[in-house]
Structure 1
């Protein structure tokens, strides 16, 4: 599984976790079955494990928005991207930003990519 696909599947897993009572393992199995990768496992498990710190960091960067008020898909994409920015220093920040913007174009509405870019660009500084 390539990194782009891993991020896309991770978004699906994390979105599902927010909307169901599934465990992380059940959500992963539902989305990828047996086709996993170490990178995929790391970003899903890491995002879930560090959710409190990620959310706290996001709240500091959001202007005129609260985390619960964000669209679920935007919140999910931001959480995954912030996990990578904060906890995977080997991944260049510009790659994380570009991937998050592309995911928001695919799964969000026409304004999602600009919003995600605006929030994540504060981490690039």
Structure 2
């Protein structure tokens, strides 16, 4: 599984975790069923889950005219993944994290999601 696919699956798992309070490892196993767990996917899901409060604070500090509670679950989940990558994983270029987040936003959000995600992440890295 490449990193793009791992991000997409991590997004789906984290989105479910936001709705259903479950353990990250259990959620990964349930989602993947018979498919083998990917190290990067597990790192994203577990890392975002473990650092959720800190990540949410970082995002919240960089929102203008928005609050974290007002952001749709899709965009919030994508922002959490990208913020985790930017702040906690050193071997991924920031531009890759942002581009991947925009792509996820365009795929799973509405027609303005990618632009919104890009704006927030641009402020986080500034």
Give the equivalent residue in structure 2 for 1:13.
13
The answer as to whether partners of 2:79 and 2:121 remain within 8 angstroms in 1 is: yes
Which piece of structure 1 moves more, 26-35 or 43-52?
Answer: 26-35
Q: How many residue pairs are counted as aligned between the two chains?
A: 125
The answer as to whether partners of 2:59 and 2:124 remain within 8 angstroms in 1 is: no
Distance, in Å, in 1 between the alignment partners of 2:118 and 2:72 is 15
Give the alignment's TM-score, normalised by structure 2: 0.95
Q: Secondary structure of 1:21's match?
A: coil
Q: Secondary structure of 1:64's match?
A: coil
* Dislocated runs of 4+, deviation >2 Å: none
Give the alignment's TM-score, normalised by structure 1: 0.95
Answering whether residue 3 of structure 2 is matched by residue 3 of structure 1, we say yes
Distance, in Å, in 1 between the alignment partners of 2:49 and 2:73 is 15
Structure 1 runs not aligned, ≥5 long: none
